[in-house]
Amino acid sequence: RCVDLSGVVNVVLDEADEMLNMGFTESIDAILAEVPESRNMLLFSATMPAEIARITGKYMRNPREIIIGNKNESTANVKHIYYMVNAKDKYLTLKRIADYYPSIYGIIFCRTKIETQEIADKLIKDGYSADSLHGDLSQQQRDYVMNKFRVRNIQLLVATDVAARGLDVSDLTHVINYSLPDDPESYTHRSGRTGRAGKTGISISIINLKEKGKIRQIERVINKTFVPATMPTGKEICEKQVFHFIDKIEKVSVDESEIEHLLPSVYRKLDWLDKEDLIKRMVSQEFVRLIDYYKEAAEIKTVDEKSRSERNPSEPRQTGPEAGFKKLFIGLGKMDGISPKNLMDLVNSYVDGRVQIGRIDFYTRYSLFDVEEGAAKRVIQALRELDFLGRQVKVDFATDEQMERGNKERSDFGGRPGNAPYGKRDGGYNKSRSNYGGNKEGYGQRRDDNNRGKDDYGKRSFSAYGKKEYGKKDAPFGGKSKDGYPRKRY
């Protein structure tokens, strides 16, 4: 079926920035190119990234920008703190935060729908008052969850940025960034949901060492300082919970008419206990599971932020993967013109679901990269049939020999041994990912729909390690990607 857009009079693009983040750039361009030039156009966006500016310049005539509030201004009543932990400890850190603030009423932001559902499911399984809100829910399900959250039937709402846009809730005590957003403006939008109407709020970010640069970037944009937080101990958490429980007892409203008929039996049952014994038993009954859990739980340590800078430059760099990650080998290196963007495109195109990538090291003939432990086998299996210009590319777990050999090879990147210091990447294809202002070029011009499946793409430019130009490619990276389109050829 075809839609005739020649009669369109008004065009309204709502949540424009999030539509771009979801990968609809080409679709938006295709639609706007077909509507009459005489139409009226309104564009609403919580943030103003470069792509939005491009659309306004290309499709709007003499556009006027109307700003409600000040750009990138963080609410004065919001305190910004972060916990820097190893990747494997992120969820445990989230649980400790929820336990340390027993009266918490907040939103936990994740990057992807899959991550959102996973975190919500874990919290519910572990006994927390939580639910999820993301794009895979029906409108009826979304309305049900949002209503539960508004009336405080749940304390924690795990959500994506897109899904949370339609939710306006007062009196939020906390915003938790389980995953940092792609740009500082989105962080401002998230944190601005708390600390409203003169009340105080806390914006918490759970990060790893490689994301410290993002925190500093956000600080510069919002003109606020983030405070590093110390991980609460089990003892501190239990104390917080006990005093919260006592607080509730003090403030409870007693309706004697409702319980009057029960009191004589209760008095007889408990009259052998003195006040101290009764209090001890109440506290033990309420917190026995929590106390036992933290009695046995290992303490989570925040990462030493100085650990990297204090390392002696002459010492060899650590060759093994980070905690919670596995190191993989791929038979493509700098001589093949591969870059971090290319490697990310490979994983995003071939592997279903979300995959977090850590450290990436490029060498002459091969590369090593860390992926989260739970996804390592899935990545290897998905890339098993990888083909590069007719050459079978090996992808497997990195051996000790490969890691040691790579550590000895001197890299041209910054004069350090084989290191490409890129932060973790979250999987899930995002066409407009900006990663805080960095322009990441792909493997040349994107094909339009009419050229899908053709062999000749013209020249491609590889700019990561000097310009290399390739003409016609005979063999793409085989088959179709997870979105059903022919895979990119490199």
Q: For 123-176, what is each residue's pLDDT tens digit?
A: 999 999 999 999 888 989 989 999 999 999 999 999 998 878 767 788 899 999
Of residues 122 and 286, the one with the higher pLDDT is 122
Tell me how far apart the alpha carbons of residues 196 and 190 are, in angstroms, rounded to a whole number.
Answer: 12
Per-residue model confidence as pLDDT tens digits over 405-429 = 766 664 434 444 444 433 444 443 3
pLDDT at 62 over 80: yes
Per-residue model confidence as pLDDT tens digits over 196-222 = 878 899 999 999 988 888 999 999 988
Q: Retrieve residue 352's tokens.
A: 């279903």
| Radius of gyration of the chain, Cα coordinates, nearest whole angstrom | 27
Per-residue model confidence as pLDDT tens digits over 422-464 = 344 444 333 333 333 333 333 333 333 333 333 333 333 333 3
Instruction: Give 226's pLDDT tier (boundaries 50, 70, 90).
Output: very high
Q: Which of 115, 106, 160 is nearest to 134 (CA)?
A: 160
Q: Which of 230, 282, 288 is nearest to 96 (CA)?
A: 230
Q: Is 178 helix (H, G, I), strand (E, B) or coil?
A: coil
pTM over 0.75: no
Q: What is the pLDDT of residue 445?
A: 35
Q: Which residue has the tokens 């939005």?
A: 52
Residues 6+ positions from 85 with CB-CB distance below 8 Å: 93, 206, 207, 208, 231, 300, 301, 302, 303
Per-residue model confidence as pLDDT tens digits over 230-268 = 999 988 998 899 899 889 899 999 998 999 999 999 999
Per-residue model confidence as pLDDT tens digits over 82-122 = 999 998 899 999 999 999 999 999 999 998 889 999 999 99
Rounded to 5 degrees, φ, ψ at 176 are -115, 120
The structural domains of the chain, ordered by start, are: 10-59 (no CATH), 78-228 (3.40.50.300), 234-252+262-296 (no CATH), 325-470 (3.30.70.330)
Average pLDDT over residues 301-306: 76
Mean per-residue pLDDT of the chain: 77
* Antiparallel, parallel or unpaired: β 156-159 and 130-133: parallel
Tell me how far apart the alpha carbons of residues 386 and 353 are, in angstroms, rounded to a whole number.
Answer: 18
Instruction: Give percent of the chain above pLDDT 90.
Output: 29
Q: What is the pLDDT of residue 20?
A: 66
Q: Is 77 helix (H, G, I), strand (E, B) or coil?
A: coil
